[in-house]
Structure 1
């Protein structure tokens, strides 16, 4: 049996590398989805994870290499065509060669990426999102929400450091009419793929306390038109469309409206415009109120003046008669007071005499007076004895006299 031929791993990978570099070095265009960009700012190089999906499942996967010089050029082209950077979760067509490295394995060495294809894919996704929302009957749902006449409590989805958010607050808080608003910030990422998850999460938080707010404002400012494709995302647009409060969007751009803006209650070019809209809503309510209040005050003053004039006339006509009636009633009251005073004195005197008679009778019936006349009180065990039949021979009794007491033993009862 011949001996086994054993090759070092490096020899095998070297052979693979030679084969691939000889037969697969041709430049090709490849369609794939960037799952994760893996860009390293300190070197400028990029190592995207590329996949192909079918029915939601990955059917092919390969790592890519984009060296710094190529990445800067590609990213600049994306900014010019798509108004955003190359990022995760983009479907792209790349120009590349297949390479194999003994340590790092198989990869696509990406030379260029066609942004026009990605632009078309994004436009396709946008159109599909709109079509789906319309077919589900929710495209206009948020526009049918009712905005209160005084929308004063606003849930704001933004970033505290955002210039757009600061501009919004400045207009709201320093309005010349002194209208008072209550704004609660719900921080979120406002561009890129993570914007979808963070904005949606904050909408869910606000929904739990929807009774506290009149409206929601999604505010993004200071970022130009870079990274806006996330607002075409179907899931984010659906969350806005179905939200139970009016959603106002001020994402800060002037070109085509995103799907999220299209389904919102009302959208504005800048955050400042949202603030101006809210102030105008207050003004629309307050101005007629002020006018009606002025009409009420004027009418009331006129009515009071007319009534004062009438009262003066009535007072002049009945002044003399009123004086006579008052004098007569005064005299009647004086007479009544005298009668009551005299009658009360007589009754008190009579009652006092009756009380003296009663006091005399009580005094006469007092046990002391009875004892004074020679009578006595006999007790047994503290109880008054009025019947000799209640006593037995040998009982000890106590007799009370006018002066003093005496004890005795019963010898015989009769």
Structure 2
């Protein structure tokens, strides 16, 4: 080995540029990552791809930052120039330019870092206790009899939820339990509101716990441990609709179902009328198809039975011939009976005169004899012989002299009429004495 070779061997290692950048990146990753940095935003921009680029600076330094679209979509506020923020990520070297940069994975306003650490600790504790287990999650009711709603009276979420429910299921009653959704007293109010719904006599089948979006401080009430346990104790399914799709709270993990927004929470329990009508149409069609298939099967059975019985026309013809024969016999019997009756009536007509004339003749002769006897005792015959029939003024017959006193007027009936007579005297005929 010559001197020049020795000098080269004892000097610094010669790196390719790309290899050195890569080695520096590995060293940074091993030494610092993951890293959390606090600073002021400068030059924030959002590219068409959704990636964000900015610098993070303080009074003594500045660091280039890149935040890719996935992580940028989780930001719950709009970063602006001069905002004090805390970021988490990893240091890297942008090898095409050899620039040091921070790949940001989360970005919050300054002061939220401690809250986020507390959130993670509480989440881990409650998850270990089983409050987030999927096995205890309950299915949502298909047709709730009533819907419970917990939110603030002044929240925009209240208007969004009520509007959605009125549009989709105006017939389902909504029971509102108002509570503050932000501030120091909000966790206690939310807990009381939920418990009030649990004890109502109204048959509530599902509860909506909702509020609009905000920062981690705005949503902190929904990370309360007591509220989490109250949600788990609900006798009916609870749907959380807190913040925006990128917001997560402890209440979301405890709820039976998390909705990305308050409006989405309302829509999950309010299938519109057209959906149910469509379902009924499908059921009706299935019933119609099933009935048609049943009728077809029964028709085939009927055809088979008809084939086994043979053609019914032969049996019908035999019955018709039998009925015709019986009708002919009946007509003959009626005609014969009619002829016999006519003959009997004719005989009766021939024998009836002699039958009734004989007794009448005998009775007539007897009547004639009686009439002759009556004529013999007819008073008129007596009167024709010169006798008279005397009656007093009252029409009573006078048969004795004692009935007519001198001065009385009597009537004498003769053959051709009557005359009135006045009694001057009466003489009683003496009875003859015996022996004279």
TM range (shorter): 0.3 to 0.5
Normalised TM-score (structure 1) = 0.42
Normalised TM-score (structure 2) = 0.40
Higher normalized contact order (CA 8 Å, seq sep 6+, divided by chain length): 1
The structure with more radius of gyration: 2
